[in-house]
Each structure stands twice: as C-alpha cells, then as structure tokens.
C-alpha cells in the first residue's frame, strides 16, 4: 500500500522504514501533523497513518473519502482524535490496541515514585552539590491503598506493580474483569479510600474530566494522582486548585488535555500561552512529561509491526481484527 505518514519524528523512520520494505508498503513521510489543512497531501495514497495529537475531524475525514483513501492507520490504541461518526461505513479505521502495556505501567510507577520521593528535585540539588534533604520528605507506599481506574491491559500491569509494593489494590471499571483478584468498588468509594489514584482508562464521554472539582473533594487529603492515559480525563483547573489547597500531595502527568502543538515539539523558545500548563510546571510536587510512557524499543517495534500488519490485512482483503467500529 501507498501510505502517507503524518507527524513524522526521527524515531518513526528508524522503526517504520525497514519494516515497510518487509511488508512491501511504500511510505511517504510527512513532518506536518494531520488535519483538514494538510489532508490534501494524502491525494493518491491508499492510507494515511496518524498519531495521537493529529486531528481527523469530520472535515478531514470527508476529504480523505473524497480522495479515495481507503484507511486511517492509527499509531495508537486510542481513537478519540478521529471523528468516528464521519468515518463509519466510509473509511476503515485501524488501531494498535496494545503495543506495550508494561511500558506505560512501568512509567506510571516511575512518575509516582519520583513525585512522592522528590527524586527530580533531589537530582537538581545534588548536581549543584546541594546535599540538603529538607523539603524532600515522602511517604511509604507499603500498606497504603492504591486506586486503579480502568482495568484493561495497562491497568492490569499497573496492578501487578502496585502489588509488588504490598499495597492494597482497589479498582473501578464499568466493565469489571472477573478474572482479576482485585476489589472493585464504585468510583465515589474508590476516591474516598485511595492514597494513590492511577488513571488507565480511555477518553470517552463518560470519562471526560473524571477527575474534576467534585471528585477531588471526595478524595483523601494527601492523595497522589498519576495520569498516563489521556489528558482530558483531568480538569486542569480543578487539579491546580487541589494542589494549592494541599488536598493533593503530588501529581505525575504524562498527558495534558491541550497538549496538541506542544507535546512532541521543542517549545523552549516560545511563550506558552496555556496558563494552566504553565502553572503546573511551577509546582515542586508535579512531574510533567510529554506523553512518552509508551516510548520503549519494544513498544516502538510493536507499533510499527501492528500498524503495517493492519495495512497488509486491508490490502489482502483479510479480516481486520484491529478495526475500530
């Protein structure tokens, strides 16, 4: 297949170029993000390949359909950046449902540990030979209660990691997994009991701002929150208020609701106009990373492989096991 590959970064070429030859695909790498303004660059191609911060809105999808593009290949599990109503029955949408759940869960735990024990602050001090540990006090996670919201593949990996710290695990998921030996409970009860809350759910209408002013008011004082899923799960304004009131002891964020155009880009010489994002970077107990929880060698290999296998299945008329319907 001829594939127009948007939002290309150097590491994408490393994994996709050699593998595309194996599958017999022809890839045209485009550094621009996918959106209505750039969709015309896919004219003459069989498929487009887009990433999480691209915007396949109705206008862009309609343009692809009009140009005869057969598929939107997602380099991600989530598909909230695609207007599925516009795509339904008109163009195939194929995703990578699970590339490395361990990578994301391990990163989530790394954020949690760093946030609690102020490892990032300690590192900065010792580089300047400031060996003072005042202000770096953390808590033991051993024996504490961890609340996992979303028990899909990544959530299950996170549960195993938390069990290794001898934590009590409670969980919320509208579709409980009966095979998991975990204590499910309503969201309101989880918020009230958890010392640590880790988000591992997709962004949908029902999960948008699942962490907001009301839910934060139900939490314990001194709670830690980690989000490696989607930025829209958290109301940033409410999160800042929770930090200012000291209701929240620490936050680890690998995602942000308005990250498009900022994450994955070098904005070091730009003025950040998003006041909430700029404010979050000023808190000593907040660690913000740029949507990199997935970024391991194993995950990149899996993303490339499954994406190109999806294209091959479409080309051959095989069953599309990763089609979003």
Catalytic residues: 230, 259, 291
Q: How far apart are alpha carbons 215 and 223 in whole angstroms?
A: 12
Reduce the DSSP state of residue 102 to 3 states and report it. Answer: helix
Q: How far apart are alpha carbons 124 and 257 in whole angstroms?
A: 28
Q: Name the β-bridge partners of 47.
A: 3, 71
Q: Name the β-bridge partners of 169.
A: 146
Query: Distance from CA of residue 38 to its chain's centroid?
Result: 24
- Residue 182 is given by DSSP the state S
Q: How far apart are alpha carbons 88 and 61 in whole angstroms?
A: 10
Q: Which of 238, 239, 233, 294 is nearest to 259 (CA)?
A: 233
CB 59 within 8 A of CB 87: no
First to last CA, the chain: 22
Query: Distance from CA of residue 211 to its chain's centroid?
Result: 16
Return the exposure string of 32-69: e unless at least 16 CB atoms fall within 10 Å of the residue's CB, then b: ebbbeebbeebeebbbbbbbbbbbbeeebbbbbeeeeb
CB 300 within 8 A of CB 268: no
- Residue 42 is given by DSSP the state G
């Amino acid at each position: 297949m001829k594939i127009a590959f948007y939002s290309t970064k150097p590491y994408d070429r490393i994994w996709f170029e050699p593998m595309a030859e194996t599958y017999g695909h022809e890839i045209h790498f485009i550094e621009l993000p996918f959106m209505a303004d750039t969709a015309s660059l896919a004219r003459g191609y069989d498929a487009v390949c887009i990433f999480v911060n691209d915007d396949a809105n109705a206008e862009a999808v309609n343009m692809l359909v009009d140009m005869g593009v057969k598929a939107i290949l997602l380099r991600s599990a989530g598909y909230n950046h695609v207007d599925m109503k516009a795509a339904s029955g008109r163009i195939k949408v194929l995703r990578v449902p699970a590339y490395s759940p361990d990578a994301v869960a391990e990163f989530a735990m790394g954020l949690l540990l760093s946030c609690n024990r102020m490892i990032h602050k300690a590192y900065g001090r010792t580089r300047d030979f400031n060996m003072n540990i005042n202000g770096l006090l953390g808590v033991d996670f051993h024996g504490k209660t961890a609340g996992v919201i979303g028990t899909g593949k990544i959530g299950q990996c996170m549960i195993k990691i938390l069990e290794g710290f001898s934590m009590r695990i409670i969980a919320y998921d509208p579709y409980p997994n009966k095979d998991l030996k975990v204590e499910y409970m309503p969201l309101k009860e989880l918020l009230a009991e958890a010392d640590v809350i880790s988000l591992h759910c997709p962004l949908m209408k029902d999960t948008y701002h699942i962490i907001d002013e009301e839910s934060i008011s139900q939490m314990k004082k001194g709670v830690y929150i980690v989000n490696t899923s989607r930025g829209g799960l958290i109301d940033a304004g409410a999160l800042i208020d929770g930090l200012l009131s000291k209701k929240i002891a620490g936050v680890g964020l690998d995602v942000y609701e308005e990250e498009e155009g900022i994450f994955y880009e070098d904005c070091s010489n730009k003025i950040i106009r998003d006041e909430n994002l700029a404010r979050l970077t000023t808190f000593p107990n907040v660690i913000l990373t740029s949507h990199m929880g997935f970024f391991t060698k194993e995950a990149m290999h899996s993303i490339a492989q499954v994406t190109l296998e999806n294209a091959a299945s479409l080309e051959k008329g095989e069953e599309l096991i990763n089609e979003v319907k």
